[in-house]
Structure 1
């Protein structure tokens, strides 16, 4: 089934139990979007967010916010400023790992971009430790059993479109420590087949180790369409799948959220009116999941959905490994 048809079916059958925007304090005059998932570190709740002026592009900073009320996040005074887009976090062993996209300019134009990675135990003093491959976003890590680390890649290029039909692929490999995370390892991660159709693209945004030994992936899945005004629209949707590590195959690939699931709001550009760029999920006490997402490249939102990995295992938290 084509992705546009899957989207239509999702919109007819979707179950969204709550839908809100996140409120960010302390950065007046700036948008905060494409955030990490919220996380707890040493007894406090935090979130990293991409901070950028509405009228600017590829001039972003990643800043740290702490929870000050339900769905309210306030800038942590004096926290480190990272010249990164679209932050994400993983907890590996006893360390917090934060990554994001660093854009490099040359002669006032975007030259390339890389994934940068920072780690440490002091959230106010994380250390840079490695860089991903040239022109690759959406590299994600997940701690597995026996100290292993799963690594997801996301190559995207015209060469991939010509060879595979889709604009991007997702790869997966396993390393034994953060010291083994290099651009070469990420670049050579074997591809997961049959994730995207012709001219689609997407990637992994947050990964979760399940007690079944599978990995639950919260990601994005995208395509282009034409709006009522005849202009191109980039459709970004929240998605999920389960990786069977043993067979290297994706199971239960599904849409779990779209822009219409979140409150109305502005878009940074006309082609981003249908954009929900996924952050990830946080489990709730009622068994459902809070799904976080950037919306319109201007804001961030949260919706409550059913657990997307039902039937494939429960998420293993770090202290259970």
Structure 2
């Protein structure tokens, strides 16, 4: 089914049980968006958020926030300031991993970007660990059933379009442990062909090991669409299941769109239809909180059905 038809059907169903915007204290004059999913440490809830002024672009930092109340977060003032964008967190092989995108400049001009990883035993004591390939975002990892580490890549660019028809693709590879992770490993990941349509792009944001050994992925899927004379970058929240043995994708579906979240101004007119997935947190009622950046200015939370039906390892 065409992605636009999938979106129309999803929005007609209206299966959103709650919708809110997150509030961030201690960063007045700045937007916080494209956060990590919340995580627990020593009885408290935290998340990392991208902090940036509304009028600026590619000039953000990542800061740690602690939960003050439902959907209200405050900055942890003593925490480290990371020169990154779009943070994510993962717990793999007894290591806490923080990743994000580093934007590189040369003589004041944009020179590219790359994924950067920090790791440690807790979110307060992280050390720079390794860097992904140049001009690649959205590298994610998951601990597999046999203890090895699965790594998702996301090549993007004209060379990808020429080879596959889509603007980006997803790749996957397996390494023995996190000590083997580097740019070469990620670059050599085998491509998962046929997931994105013509000129679409997207990637993985959060990964779960499921009970049958497959991987549940929360991601984003994107395309350009003319809306009211503006070429909109449409970003959708998606979920799918990936089989690491067969490299096949199943149960791909939309789980959120920009219209799923409360109204809020976008950073630029062409980002008004943008919902960039952070990930899900499971709820006691069996549903899931889906967190997502919206319009590159805010972070939203909606309550949805658990996209993987509780079948976690």
Residue 133 of structure 2 aligns to a residue whose secondary structure is coil
**More off after superposition, 121-130 vs 167-176:** 121-130
- The residue aligned with 1:53 is 53
Task: Output one character per residue of 1:250-271: Cα deviation in whole Å (capped at 9) or x when no partner.
Answer: 1011111000000000100000
Partner residue of 1:87? Answer: 87
Alignment partners' CA distance in 1, 2:89 and 2:141: 8
> 1:210 matched to which residue of 2?
210
Q: Secondary structure at the match of 1:146?
A: coil
Q: Distance in 2 between matches of 1:296 and 1:243?
A: 28
Alignment check: 8 A CA contact 2:164 2:193 kept: no
Q: Give the structure with the higher percent strand.
A: 2
Shift of 1:214: 0.7
User: How does the TM-score come out when normalised to structure 2?
Assistant: 0.98
- Give the distance between the partners of 1:211 and 1:46, measured in 2 at CA: 27
Contact 1:30–1:53, Cα closer than 8 Å, also in 2: yes
Question: How far apart are 1:163 and its partner, in Å?
Answer: 1.2
Q: 1:43: how far off?
A: 2.2
State TM-score, norm by structure 1: 0.96
The unaligned stretches of length 5 or more in structure 1 are: 317-321
SS at match of 1:274: coil
Per the alignment, residue 285 of structure 1 pairs with 284
Write the deviation string for residues 222-262 of structure 1: whole angstroms up to 9, x where unpaired: 0001111x121100010010001221111011111000000
Query: What is the RMSD computed on CA atoms of the aligned residues?
Result: 1.0
Deviations 1:113-142 (A, max 9, x none): 010000001322200010000100000011
Could you tell me which residue of structure 1 aligns to residue 101 of structure 2?
101
Distance 1:262 1:143 in 2: 31
Give the match's secondary structure for 1:179.
helix
How is 1:196-235 mapped onto 2 (pairs within 5 angstroms)? 196-228=196-228, 230-235=229-234
List gaps (5 residues or longer) in structure 2. none
Residue in structure 1 matched with residue 113 of structure 2 by the alignment: 113
What's the secondary structure of 1:89's corresponding residue?
strand
Say whether residues 1:270 and 2:272 are aligned partners.
no
Residue 319 (structure 1) aligns with: none
Q: What residue number does 1:171 align with?
A: 171
> Could you report, residue by residue, the CA deviation over 1:59-117 in whole angstroms, capped at 9, with x for unpaired residues?
00000001111111110121000000000000012221000000001232211101000
Give the superposition deviation at 1:315. Answer: 2.1
